[in-house]
Structure 1
Amino acid sequence: MKELGLDKGFEPIRTGPFAGIRNLGATCYVNSLLQALFFTKPFRTATLNLPTADLNGRSSAFNQQAASLRALQVLFGEMQCGISATCESSVTAFVEACKIHTSTHEDPSELAMLLLSWLQRLIPKGVPDFVEETFGGLVIYETTCRSCGSISRQTEVFAEMRVPLPYAPTTGGEVLLEDLVADVFAPEVFSDESHYYCCACGKYCEAVRRQWIKSAPPFLWITMHRYAFTDGVRRKILTELSFPLTGLDLTSFNARVYDCVGALEHHSTVAHAGHYTATLKDHSTGIWWRFDDGHVREVDWAPVDGEVQAGESPSERALKRRRTAPERASSHTAYMLLYVQQGYKVDDCPDLPSWLAAEVNRKNEALRLPETFDHQRL
């Protein structure tokens, strides 16, 4: 495999502010998710400073998770302070520690939930759950029996909001993210008496279920249902999605107002193959960057004559019409969107822990050696 015109095994020196990540075969979905998590600074800081677990007497499964954590810390450390343009050795160590098959195309949403869950298991007692503090929210389900009027409530934790997309076999048409979210929170009627058992009535009854957010996360993942089974075949839903870059108002559902800071896209017309990229906003500068494995470039969202010029991000169409303020983007490839609460203070990341800084410095020196030898030959 070749990338940036260089043979695999040679790590080019970074020239811009951010590192790409080498694709090891079919790991573009891993790379896109890792970039999004890295750009989520509270999550990055907490991950980098999570104590390395004592593996003595622990189960093999726990040891694997701890080794994966250390590999993730080294990768994030190199992405933050390293000089490699593609972090090949670090991402290879992470993929191997996690036992990720490099030739298999998987789902970044499923990987995100797995990654966050095992990180939570590694948080020592007495240390705040930074995963829940960053991405976790609470939703209340309230079901009302239509026979007796009794109400039952259930509270659940969520780390992402999944929204359905109307099926479209080809590109065309457009749906608004706000409408899809409203559909998620619309009342659900159980008209079939076999669906809801009322304890007060002692029998199955018709009922209405409503839901709303009890606690909104600072960072909100919204994942589209872009895959559906039709005629027994898993197909890609190519419906165009219009979503706000600023001002996603969820106050009607007892949540907050959010601004978009990331989009993970699946580039393909089929469900079983394709390529993932990430377009992410730098909190410090407000600049958007597109990450396509080892290729990194700045992209722009700029209003032009009442429209929004999308540059090459995220759907690579030159101009997108603005419906109403706030500014919007449209994409038939957007799969996961990352939003942050308006007004949420995002601090800069502190220096790396001493052990990690030493490891990154060692990697940097190893990369500088070939450059030194070339100068000596001259």
Structure 2
Amino acid sequence: MEVDSDPERAGLEERQQANDNGEREHGPEPMEGTVSESTQHRNHPEHLKGEFTWEIPNFSQIEHKEYSDKFEAGGSTWRLLVFPHGNNTDHLSVFLAIPDAQDLPSDWTLYAAFRLHLFSSRGHEHDLVKDAQHHFSRREVDWGYNTFIPLSELHDPARGFLSSGSLTLRVQVWVNPTTNPYAESRADTGFVGLKNQGATCYMNSLLQTLYAINAFRRAVYHMPSEEGDGARGGEATGASSETGDKDEAEAIPAALQRVFWRLQFTDGPVGTKELTRSFGWDSSDAFQQHDVQELNRILCDRLEVRMKGTKVEGTIAQLFEGHTHNYIECLNVDCRSTRRESFQDLQLDVAGCRTVLDSFDRYCAPEILEGENQYVAEGHGLQDARKGVLFEDFPPVLQLQLKRFEYDYAKDAMVKLNTRYEFGDTLDLDSHGRRYLAPAASPAVRNLYRLLAVLVHSGGVHGGHYYAYVRPEGSQWLKFDDERVEKVEAHAAVEDNWGGGGAADGGGLDGSGFLAKSNARAPPLARLARHANAYMLVYVRASEWDSVLCSIRAQDIP
């Protein structure tokens, strides 16, 4: 069974216009969802569960869209909505909807999690399952996947989804009677979440990580703001948050400053629309996943520009910048070339490596230049040579990007590597006789690091969901999953994100087939481990832990 816990949400007014029945029909591709793994829901009474199976005959002959019969689940009435030819996309579109929305009170809301299950005639292991959750209201009466499965795959006989022209869908629903499931995040954890605009979960995980680096947050607060650009304005107060034609070097830092202020002082989830507008994105960009590493560099570059000439100038480099010693040395003549380069993050191989130190071994392993790849040595012509890289210094905050996505030449396609890859609470880069360090590296600096954050990708190469595990105060691990923030055990942040594990045959379900308890330490989590694994690690040098996670004083806050 193919399990995807990373839905694309539909139903937001920014993306789709409602018709007379309150359903959403047309518009660009809707949003990515906020579900991660089975660990997000707590125990719930039996009467709040329900399921419905819908067999649709002559599926391909449906011209536009089709509604299921109404059904009861979780004490509420629902129906399914499908677009056999796609809702302005080349994918099957599937949504869970509240019927007769016009009869509901204006303040009606309902929070529900649901699982969509597309059956294959080839057997259970070929089924497609996707999860979603949504806070339904009169404004947002349907939710689901605009791109549930490509039409080419749906109609591929080898996939077995259209048996004798019929398609069979099952939906399982769990209803949470809590009006606002995120209302207690501040009280429970001391932190609040970030709203997902569509496919901005990757950005949210990065922002929560940067926010937890207090020295970084304090520097952002100390950046000068133009009059009217104070952190309290914009989205949080209802004032205009448009950046207009303001230069990005000013717009991005000012918007980030406001996001950080709201994360620190507001009681509910914080919006990020002003920040994404400062990137120059329109609404459609918020529905496309971007590269986390690229976004991180854009943010830091703009902040460095804004910090110039201020008391926090140089903070980005002081926190995140390290230096490599790149060398080429000839094997048979006395000729050596060296170059010093700076870095703010490192990309480490996952393929063929079991641990982080294995990846550093590969990163620093010398390459022999010989044969057709000989080195052109000045004054000596073509020579056999050794080429490699060592580290002159590591930064206080070490950001490691794990290369989970690679091009598979045999498949002629990009693939995600879900293999087991171990990392720990500590990382000693002085190990093995300091073999990763260049001769010029200071022997007085102890390169022992503690883990601060684990950023996780759940899903496959064509899409997925991002969330982060962070321990902002250095002890209690928290899971930041868009709007949701919750306490977790250390194993949930570390070992459970090594990857590998058992088959993806419906893992993440409890015995009844519904989402499992959030703090369950049960086998289902292991079965989904291959789909959710770390793609970015953030370590802090142990000797500088207190200064990096320094206190934010009242005078630091704009």
Distance 2:246 2:341 in 1: 26
Aligned counterpart, 1:42: 215
Distance of aligned partners of 1:192 and 1:298 in 2 relative to their CA distance in 1, 3 Å threshold? farther
Aligned counterpart, 1:324: none
Structure 1 residue 314, shift from structure 2 partner: 7.7
Distance 1:125 1:273 in 2: 41
Distance of aligned partners of 1:225 and 1:185 in 2 relative to their CA distance in 1, 3 Å threshold? same
Q: Are positions 1:264 and 2:470 aligned together?
A: no
Contact 1:265 1:276 survives alignment (8 Å)? yes
Contact 1:277 1:293 survives alignment (8 Å)? yes
Partner residue of 1:291 out of 474, 480, 489: 480
Residue by residue over 1:140-189, the C-alpha shift from the partner in whole angstroms, topping out at 9 and shown as x without a partner, is 1121012313111100000111111117xxxxxx8111111111111122
Partner residue of 1:117 out of 301, 308, 311: 301
Distance 1:309 1:93 in 2: 30
Contact 1:21 1:87 survives alignment (8 Å)? yes
Distance 2:534 2:493 in 1: 17
> 1:147-296 residue pairs with structure 2 within 5 A?
147-166=332-351, 175-194=354-373, 196-201=375-380, 203-230=381-408, 231-251=411-431, 252=434, 253-254=436-437, 256-268=447-459, 270-283=460-473, 286-296=475-485
Structure 1 residue 312, shift from structure 2 partner: 6.7
Partner residue of 1:142 out of 327, 340, 343: 327
DSSP 3-state at the match of 1:183: helix
Distance 2:372 2:300 in 1: 38
Contact 1:4 1:294 survives alignment (8 Å)? no
DSSP 3-state at the match of 2:426: coil
Contact 2:419 2:530 survives alignment (8 Å)? no
Structure 1 residue 340, shift from structure 2 partner: 0.5
Distance of aligned partners of 1:188 and 1:312 in 2 relative to their CA distance in 1, 3 Å threshold? closer
CA RMSD in angstroms comes to 3.2
> 1:24-63 residue pairs with structure 2 within 5 A?
24-52=197-225, 63=247
Contact 1:239 1:332 survives alignment (8 Å)? no
The letter of the residue matching 2:533 is T
Structure 1 residue 99, shift from structure 2 partner: 2.5
Distance 2:553 2:536 in 1: 28
Unaligned runs of 5+ in 1: 55-59, 168-173, 303-307, 321-328, 357-378
Determine which structure has greater relative contact order: mean sequence separation of CA pairs < 8 Å that are 6+ residues apart, divided by chain length.
1
Residue by residue over 1:311-346, the C-alpha shift from the partner in whole angstroms, topping out at 9 and shown as x without a partner, is 9778799489xxxxxxxx999611000000012123
Q: Structure 1 length normalisation: TM-score?
A: 0.77
Contact 2:470 2:478 survives alignment (8 Å)? yes
Aligned counterpart, 1:370: none
DSSP 3-state at the match of 1:77: helix
Contact 1:247 1:258 survives alignment (8 Å)? yes
Structure of higher CA gyration radius: 2
Distance of aligned partners of 1:310 and 1:228 in 2 relative to their CA distance in 1, 3 Å threshold? closer
Structure 1 residue 200, shift from structure 2 partner: 3.4
Contact 1:300 1:310 survives alignment (8 Å)? no
Contact 2:348 2:403 survives alignment (8 Å)? yes
Unaligned runs of 5+ in 2: 1-11, 13-110, 112-132, 141-178, 228-243, 438-445, 500-507, 509-519, 524-528
Contact 1:188 1:210 survives alignment (8 Å)? yes
Identity %: 22
How many residues are paired up?
326
Distance 2:494 2:383 in 1: 51
Structure 1 residue 22, shift from structure 2 partner: 0.4
Contact 2:323 2:340 survives alignment (8 Å)? yes
Q: Structure 2 length normalisation: TM-score?
A: 0.53
Aligned counterpart, 2:125: none
Structure 1 residue 36, shift from structure 2 partner: 0.6
Distance 2:301 2:493 in 1: 38
Structure 1 residue 247, shift from structure 2 partner: 3.8
Aligned counterpart, 1:79: 263
The letter of the residue matching 2:416 is K
Distance 2:315 2:477 in 1: 25
Aligned counterpart, 1:92: 273
Contact 1:288 1:300 survives alignment (8 Å)? yes
Distance 1:353 1:103 in 2: 34
Distance 1:145 1:313 in 2: 42
Aligned counterpart, 1:360: none
Q: Are positions 1:15 and 2:145 aligned together?
A: no
